Structure 1
Amino acid sequence: MYGYECLDTHKDRDEKHMRCLSYLISHYKWIIDVYNVDYFVANHWSKVPKQWTQCFEKFDLKDLSNFLTKGSPMNCVLPLNLLSLRATCFALQLSRQTNDNIDSDFCESLKISPNSCRTLDSLVNDSKHPKMKREILNRKIKEKKRHEIQRLSTITDQLLKSLDNCRTIVDCGSGQGHLSRIMSLCYGYDVISIEGNDDNVLGAQNKDLKMLNSLKKYKLMDNIHTDCPKQVNCVLQNNSSISELTELADNHLLLGLHACGPLSAIILKQLRECQSAKGLILVSCCYFKIHMNSFPMSQCAHKLSVPALSYEAKEIACHAIEKFINKLNTRERLSTLRIHCYRALLESLIDKYNPNMRHNAMKSVKIGDNMNFNDYFHKAVNGLNIDIPEEELDSDFVRNCLSQQQNCIIFYSLRLLIAPLVESLILLDFINYLKEDGIQTALLPLFDPILSPRNFVLIAIK
């Protein structure tokens, strides 16, 4: 596995890495450039090499956990080309495993003290009021978001301490303002929040007010920086100028937590083009929303003729391999994996009777241990304009498809094996786009991948 945890501008290793990733992704397009819901419609299993299918016949579903985990022994001998693919995928993917010291190690590379002055954080944690932390720091914030904010706020504070004359943060796509609020009130930075959704902006302002009221309630107003983030209600476009939108001339750090699809490319471009933008902390997500003309971005990728990634490839790059492995290892959750077969079977029936409804979203259904396909079907299509004869649900075709449930899950596992390579290629393109402008970059697997599957943080300093 590759790691890019240290800030640098070196590109030689990146070019070799990208060349290998591009070759492997192109070679296995028959796995990557497909939808799992089309498993029966397109007969995906027929494309799997015969040697592989014969090997998979000996698999138990729990064997897939070892198959998808680096260093885990296999209970059967894999065909040489499958063994080679597995080993190559593990070797080429960016290391996704985090540890408690990774932010401290990065901080040490910046040659600053890892101790942050989180005045409000310290006051709240030291308080004897049991409700204070929930009211002030964790108000309506889910566990996943709390985990991300805790780790990202620390690394943001550390990075800002390493920059000269930079005390302002521009939070791009700030949503409900949870991270902006923490950076402003807990760490004392001047924060400008840019958000294009009106409801999110109003929600952020409402939460700011409630937090200030909590600070007054617990008599903390005199001890901390109490300026809330400045809200800028607009959608960032490719031709946007953050300096003009925010009327900001001061040095600032660009921040993006889960910058969705094209927003990541816009933020990267802003860092290169805006003179007062001195650094960047970016967590990308929703790669499938990246515009076709936004990838690849780097000259390196163009030089290597890295092909455009299909929607299907970018979509599988967003799937959570660690969560899938966790389900394989948990008996209670193993039964929920039949959703892959059920959804593919439903798609084949839609193709037969309502082809105009192909690839449409179905109702979300929670799969229980005793849920059969008939139950799933009626819940998934409830209220939708899908008309499939009831007798079809008990046909030989349906029974035959259900007997292939394990193969359907195995095919999805093959896609998950390669998925991290697609994410790795996208992120390497991002950092090389910055390196080509002389900007130091690093990639940290900062979050727990089970809690937060998009766990890479791109850090850049001019």
Structure 2
Amino acid sequence: MSYYCDVTTWHHFSEWWGDVTVPHGCSASRGRSLGLCTAPSPGCHHGATGHYGVTAGGVTSPPADRCPQRLARVGPVLLAAHVRSVSLPGTPLLSRSPRAAPGRPLTLEQQLAASIARVLARYRFLLDSFVIEFFTNDQWATLPPSWQDVLADLPSPQLAALLLEKANPEEASYSMVWPLSLLAFKATAHALALPRAHCGGANSRPEEFQENLCQSTRLHPVFRKHVKPKKQHEIWQLGKLVKRLSELAQCEHVVDVGSGQGHLSRFLSFGLGLPVTAVEGNRHLVDTAKRFDRELVQVLEKERARGGKAAWELSLRGPSHVAGWVDPQAPWPEFLLLLQPGVDISHPPTAAAGTGPPSLEPGMRTLPMVLGRDVAQPARAAVDPTGARSHVGTGVPIGHLQEPGQPAEHPPVLGRVLLTGLHACGDLSVTLLRHFVQCPHVAAITSVACCYMKLSTRETPVPPGLVLPPTVPPATYGYPLSAWVAGLPGHTLSYKAREGACHAAEDYVQRLRSQSPGLRAHCYRAVLETLIRAADPSKQCLGVQTIPGAHCLSFHEYARLGLARVGLDPSTPLDAAHVDALLRRQQQVIAYFTLVLLLSPLVESLILLDRVIYLQEQGFQCRLIPLFDPQFSPRNLVLVAAKAQSASALSTLVEDDSKG
């Protein structure tokens, strides 16, 4: 059997790359290329036109190699190599992108951002689609027919192996020839995404959890209490990075912004002996953090009294806690003022009767309304004005050995400061980067971002999820941050695209490979959407809260619960034949979502590259390091930066991190 690809597919590939063509016999990077076979081989029944041969070093593969399995297995590898070759300086891939300043070549980050923006712009129909509208918007029909043919009935493990996983595992098996455009789509998505493999290795579980699935062997037991394995892994990895960077950059103080329950701050101060100020916007989380601090001190004192040597290796000096919010639009002097004791810059507006914040405990102060929300307002989770949990402000800090309400001695934040934010959500990560750039006291920063859909943009200056909208539009936005990305055609990212970038691709791969019953949830919700719109066309894409154990229910049970949640009659009769016909297309829904998920790492890569380029534009050196195991912590890339006098520390830091 011969393999072939119609001419329109090759034109699709050429148009995609902006006039990139690969003539027969040409050599691409590392001596590998794709070529047009103008002389069909024996056994080829498709003629010279439109028959494609895979060449190596300009020599067309022998006829024996021209089989579906051969093409399918080597195709993605060759395409990935070709993608890398055309993304180098001076190639047609960047011919339509903004040009660098005269005499200044494009940086690798600028090249990569431009490439990603072009790919995302071409496949915006995938990025901006909601899978719940799979049937109502006939999303399957938006895919090329050749894609539909090979993906329609592909089993879930094959979707994982052939699309989402970079290497072809043993499970990979091509039952039919894939179109070149789909192979190129997959190869491009993998080739352009920032590497996320943890430097510690490729094991399915971090080494520290090999003995006990729930307890890190690297952390002292006092730092594992109240902490889930994911967070244990994160605070150990980020903690040692912050410690090393603070030494190399000669920082005298660490400010942990968006500290939550204080797990990272506690490890940095008690475990690593760093002076730490923990800043959190949710007063109840601050109270919890202080309680955990006191519990830790009590344990250490008891162990010391019993003569335990390990307890003496830890410090009794804990973090200082600050409660409040940081205004993303406020200048850096105000940010520093938030960290000082005894300074009250707040002038909160008078709240209407019955809507004011609860009374604060002694020693804590109310901050101004920031983007429409009083910082002292309680919340089920620490949710900031952009929907994140980590925008913070000021208050009088409480020491770990003090009773609630008794201010502890708080050293002023002077000298060189290191900012850190562990999964600082939305605009908070951007705000910290701006403070790093503008504030002379901040010498270094480590930033781990999340909740990209909560970023403010020109298109959505007020992201969904705000408690109250701001009265004044923001003067600056969370994305794009750099002038370069802002000038790229197609750089805009919708809320849906940014929300998709927060998905855990590694987790979905495992669900596909195990054929998890939970995979039917997307199909259930998409079918439910057709029922909702049939009953009331005005009800579209409503938020249906998660139905517990949905995958264990029959669809009729699921529909009854779902209809009730959107205010419709749960006893509405269903067209059983129509519903069953839609449910039989479950694998199409899964395949479509897998294609969307394949693009999600590119969205995250573009957002993070935008931040790297912004720092470079301001004259600072920085690095992106895959610090966490993505199986444990999907948002695992940490942006590390240091100012000129500390810039050499970055190279040392990266070398140390690569050694584990």
| Equivalent residue for 1:429, pick from 589, 603, 610 | 610
- Code of the residue aligned with 1:291 in structure 2: it is S
TM-score, length of structure 1 as denominator length: 0.86
Kindly state the Cα deviation for residue 442 of structure 1 after the two structures are TM-superposed: 0.7
Amino acid at match of 2:247: K
C-alpha RMSD over aligned residues? 2.3
Match of 2:339 in 1: 246
Asked if residue 144 in structure 1 is aligned to residue 326 in structure 2, the reply is no
The question of 1:69 aligning with 2:132 is answered no
Residue of structure 1 in register with 2:184 after alignment? 84
Residues 272 and 145 (structure 1 numbering): CA distance in 2 closer, same or farther, change over 3 Å? same
**How far apart in 2 are the matches of 1:211 and 1:355?**
56
Gaps of 5+ in 2: 1-79, 85-104, 203-215, 341-412, 458-476, 644-660
SS in 2 for 1:391: coil
1:128-143, aligned counterparts within 5 Å?
Answer: 133-134=220-221, 136-143=222-229
Measure the CA separation in 2 of the matches of 1:330 and 1:43.
Answer: 28
Letter in 2 for 1:60: P
* Correspondence 1:294 to 2:389: no
Is 2:121–2:490's contact at 8 Å kept on the other side of the alignment? no
Q: Which amino acid aligns with 2:277?
A: I
Distance 1:54 1:32 in 2: 21
Mapped partners of 1:38, 1:61: distance in 2: 21
C-alpha distance in 1 between matches for 2:539 and 2:230: 34
Which among 272, 294, 309 is matched to residue 187 of structure 1? 272
**Code of the aligned partner of 2:167:** G
Cα shift at 1:372:
1.8
Paired with 1:87 and 1:281, the residues of 2 have a C-alpha distance of 31
- 1:258-315 deviation digits (Å, cap 9, x = unpaired): 1111111111111111111111111100100001132110011123345321001001
Q: Is the 8 A contact 1:184 1:225 kept in 2?
A: yes
SS at match of 1:318: coil
| Partners of 1:184 and 1:227 within 8 A in 2 | yes
Report the Cα distance in structure 2 between the residues aligned to 1:161 and 1:191, rounded to whole angstroms. 14
Structure possessing the higher relative contact order (Cα contacts under 8 Å, 6 or more residues apart)? 1
The answer to whether the aligner puts 1:321 opposite 2:421 as a matched pair is: no
Moved more, 30-39 or 51-60: 51-60
Query: Aligned partner of 1:275: which letter?
Result: P
Confirm or deny: 8 A CA contact 2:437 2:618 kept in the other structure: yes
Aligned length: 424
Deviations 1:52-76 (A, max 9, x none): 1111135222210112111314413
Q: Aligned residue for 1:377? A: 559
217, 220, 223: which one pairs with 2:302?
217
1:420 to 590, 601, 604: 601
Deviation of 1:449 (Å): 1.1
Describe the superposition over 1:379-431 as per-residue Cα deviations: whole angstroms up to 9, x where unpaired.
44566533344322x53321221111110111000001111100100000011
Deviations 1:422-453 (A, max 9, x none): 01000000111111112111111111112111
User: Structure 1 or 2: larger helix share?
Assistant: 1
| Residue 14 of structure 1, CA deviation | 1.0
* Aligned residue in 2 for 1:336: 518
Q: Any idea what SS the aligned residue of 2:543 has? A: coil
Helix, strand or coil for the counterpart of 2:265? helix
- Cα deviation 1:80-134 (Å, max 9, x = unaligned): 11111111111100111113179xxxxxxxxxxxxxxxxxxxxx979xxxxx954
d(CA) in 1 for partners of 2:166 and 2:287? 46
Match of 1:442 in 2: 623
What is the aligned partner in structure 2 of residue 351 from structure 1?
533
Quick one: distance in 1 between partners of 2:106 and 2:279? 32
Unaligned runs of 5+ in 1: 3-9, 103-123, 127-131
Asked if structure 2 preserves the Cα contact closer than 8 Å seen for 1:353 and 1:388, the reply is no
What is the DSSP-based 3-state SS (H/G/I as helix, E as strand, rest coil) of the residue aligned with 1:269? helix
Alignment-derived partner of residue 259 in structure 2: 174
Which of structures 1 and 2 has the bigger CA Rg? 2
Q: Does 1:235 align with 2:325?
A: yes
Cα distance, 1:377 vs. partner?
Answer: 2.7
Find the aligned partners of 1:431 and 1:56 in 2 and give their Cα distance.
37
